[in-house]
Structure 1
């Protein structure tokens, strides 16, 4: 195998674009995290190729500064992240890398799972598209082994070839090179340690919410011993906190039990965070998770209206949500609630129910987002079948502007209600005093101040932008 010089790139941007796990989001505060796609690829590539890593978003690099850094590396291949909110800028930047530095380009992004071939037809600067970053196909592609290649779209003899995707039930990957990433530049709400990183214990999601890409990917579990091997390496770096980036952590009860028991037995001295579902959490699971080091959980609550939950195929009830948050309080596990404002069928009344429900649940942190009609999701297909033409994929950025009207709610009204949700949730004296009372380190204090100022500046004071 010819040894290549490979750059793992999170491209620069004018916002804090999160492009990992085939999702699209823009950080509403100063929070950011290692992009797990690039981490996993570093594991596959580390023993076969020379590696460079540039997370231009985390390092807050401009386009020119990023290009200058890259031009000095001598890399001949770039694996880059992209997303629906930033694709045009990403593609333009990569075109410059190809034109001026002669780099081979491999793209990884959620919308490319469904539009990869058409994107390559339109943008010749893209040499290939990766369809599953957790599988070892990158090694076959770089070796030129197209006969056994899967999970890729690539160019061959002037044609664009799409390989079939595989759907294994289990997976593992070599331990990633966490040490190559700027871990001190990442922050996350409710994190406890000065430095943290991310890992996976599963990929995809067994549930099928209408708005979510992970539910379209299938679901597979990572070998538990492989997870423990990575956690042991992470601990050897002096890192004592991990964010598990699974879409539905703990969805498989037996896998969760085995993982937590082995984490306890390994005595790693690692605390961790995860994202789960309210219908997954019960007394047995949360007790075991707490013993294994879990200190905070993110939940997709989405709505405070039962009918809206049904229309988005969420598969949960408000009472299940109440029980999950109550269990977390009982076990002293912090919570982060995700809510969506403006789903199809929403009215001002249902949005106000969601705001009231958020305050009732009393999560430590809450995020209020707008629905994004991703290609490949039921929401995206429904929007397109209704005749709505999405000519600007920048509408997937829910920080600068709303994207779609909902029934009688105009985009301006949805934006107003979303900002109202932030004001009513965060600017309550009781909430502010609660957050202050739980600050135990200077790092937490500074993180809270930055987050508060960011919310105040970017969301509460900003007028609707067309």
Structure 2
């Protein structure tokens, strides 16, 4: 469970304007709809904002039905930005894209017609889609996220990353925006333009996390941390100079074509022990259709360099991509095994609303196979759409199950993991992981 940094950023901006703010992380606290409704009705806020991902749409909608007569209800996040007209019809004021500036206008009760970046239903019962708000250029102007409003300051349980070594752990965003155009990604709903924070601003946040909250691990959660390699190395140099006693991880998927031995050497010296790469497919033809803009040879070379630097390596893979066949999906499984990865993350392609894939399915006579957004997730363990020319759903699921079995149940892989085990707790964790994989495969 990752802390909701988006909400923390909004809260920090509101706090600087002396607005009373609370964050209720229903996911982390394992709260159901009734719990959330009760909390809202008891606290009587004038405005309630929801960060809406596609699987949480139904949850948020059920809550708003019980509270909207008592307060203003606002929705933001990828799902809301992708389907603003639908959510406005359902009663939300939709904040499209970044919300730090928009939320201040809403709290100040500025007339809705004068607020850029929102979609809403007016008193005339018509949907009003205001002009887009320009992305924030000076990210250093945004205060550090208000993690202190989360349970355990957002750095300890219930928050946890699968790659964590310690309990005290935090995610840091050093930039916003991704200049790449992968057809399955919903991040580009916000901005294609890469907008970095300054290295000084980033290291200042890390220092706060280490000194004030005792954080032992930092997870860089950018869409593409190493897009500007010189900037990334400057950040690492500053972390090295500060002599932070931390583990550093890049779990969101670095670009394998923008890795150098110098970057890896500095990443390791800064405390880096884990990097994930977005591989996606073992077929060059399928990669070119994404368009990933990367070659299998580059991926193989980068993974080899990363292992040589003694950094743990993970790879992300997907089944059911455009151009996939049973043969190309087997190539993906074989490529994953050939890469000598520590962890392989296999998922089934999900056509999130607002992505190019979502529109391709509509335009080419495809079909979404589920009616309930709650099941709409790339970890749903099932094929979510059909499309002429795409692999059959049963072939996609078969490849997904086979991948887990072929990768994780190799005797050589199990032996390597056993040799790395240093405690009974680690051994129990490994056994638990294998049991979970057995249920998938």
Distance 2:418 2:138 in 1: 43
Contact 1:198 1:245 in 2 (8 A): yes
Please report the TM-score for the alignment, with normalisation by the length of structure 2: 0.88
Alignment of 1:318-333 (within 5 A): 318-333=296-311
Counterpart residue number, 1:356: 334
Contact 2:33 2:62 in 1 (8 A): no
Contact 1:336 1:363 in 2 (8 A): yes
Counterpart residue number, 1:405: 386
The alpha-carbon distance between structure 1 residues 291 and 155, as it changes in their structure 2 partners (threshold 3 A), is: farther
Counterpart residue number, 1:6: none
The alpha-carbon distance between structure 1 residues 445 and 221, as it changes in their structure 2 partners (threshold 3 A), is: farther
Counterpart residue number, 2:222: 246
Distance 2:424 2:7 in 1: 30
The answer to whether the aligner puts 1:138 opposite 2:103 as a matched pair is yes
Counterpart residue number, 1:8: none
Deviating more after overlay: 353-362 vs 399-408: 399-408
**Larger relative contact order (C-alpha < 8 A, sep ≥ 6)?**
1
Paired residues, what number?
423
Alignment of 1:248-327 (within 5 A): 248-274=224-250, 275-327=253-305
Distance 2:103 2:63 in 1: 22
Deviating more after overlay: 83-92 vs 301-310: 83-92
Q: Secondary structure at 2:179's aligned position in 1?
A: coil
Counterpart residue number, 1:94: 64
How much does 1:247 deviate? 0.9
The alpha-carbon distance between structure 1 residues 438 and 412, as it changes in their structure 2 partners (threshold 3 A), is: same
Residue deviations 1:349-406, cap 9 Å, x none? 1000000111111222211111222333222222111022547363632415211236
Structure 1 spans left out of the alignment, 5+ residues: 1-31, 461-466
Q: Secondary structure at 2:317's aligned position in 1?
A: strand
Residue deviations 1:99-156, cap 9 Å, x none? 4xx23221122132232133202x02x13324214x4332222112458744333455
The alpha-carbon distance between structure 1 residues 225 and 353, as it changes in their structure 2 partners (threshold 3 A), is: same
Contact 1:170 1:223 in 2 (8 A): no
Contact 2:249 2:272 in 1 (8 A): yes
Distance 2:51 2:243 in 1: 35
Please report the TM-score for the alignment, with normalisation by the length of structure 1: 0.84
Counterpart residue number, 1:178: 147
Counterpart residue number, 1:420: 402
Residue deviations 1:411-458, cap 9 Å, x none? 12211111111111112222223223334466655554444443333x
Contact 2:317 2:346 in 1 (8 A): yes
Counterpart residue number, 2:71: 103
